Amino acid sequence: MREPLIWPDFKSSWAQLLMEHLQDKRRHGFSYQREVYHLLQLDRLIESSGIDDIVLTEDIVSEWLSSTLHRSPSTHRKRVIAIRQLVKFMQRQGLEAQLPPLPMSPRKELGSKARIFSVNEISRILNAADELPVIAHSPLRHRVVPELIRVLYGCGLRVGEACRLTVSDVDLNEGVLTIKQGKFNRDRLVPITPGLLHRLNIYTQFLHKTDADDCFFPSPRGQYVPRSIYEIFRELLASAGIEHGGRGQGPRLHELRHSFAVRKLESWYHSGEDLNAKLPLLAAYLGHKSLVGTQAYLQLTQALHTDIADKLESIYGFVIPLDCSS
* 144-181 pLDDT tens trace: 999 999 999 999 999 999 999 999 999 999 999 999 86
Among 130-139, 181-190, 255-264, which stretch is predicted with the lowest mean pLDDT? 181-190
pLDDT, tens digit (0-9, with 9 covering 90-100), for 198-211 = 999 999 988 876 78
C-alpha to C-alpha distance for 192 and 198, rounded to whole angstroms = 10
Average pLDDT over residues 121-130: 95
Q: What are phi and psi of 73, to 5 degrees?
A: -55, -35
Among 151-160, 287-296, 304-313, which stretch is predicted with the lowest mean pLDDT? 304-313
Q: Is residue 122 pLDDT above 50, yes or no?
A: yes
Q: In whole angstroms, what separates CA 293 from the centre of its chain?
A: 13
Q: Is residue 23 pLDDT above 50, yes or no?
A: yes
Paired residues of 189 in beta bridges: 178
Q: Which residue has the higher pLDDT, 165 or 317?
A: 165
Alpha-helix residue ranges (DSSP H) falling in 156-290: 159-163, 194-207, 226-239, 255-270, 275-286
Per-chain mean pLDDT for the chain: 82
CA-wise closest residue to 128 among 232, 265, 267, 266: 232
Q: Is residue 222 pLDDT above 50, yes or no?
A: yes
Q: In whole angstroms, what separates CA 147 from the centre of its chain?
A: 19
Query: Catalytic residues, which ones?
Result: 158, 183, 254, 257, 288, 297
Asked whether the beta carbons of 141 and 125 are under 8 A apart, the reply is no
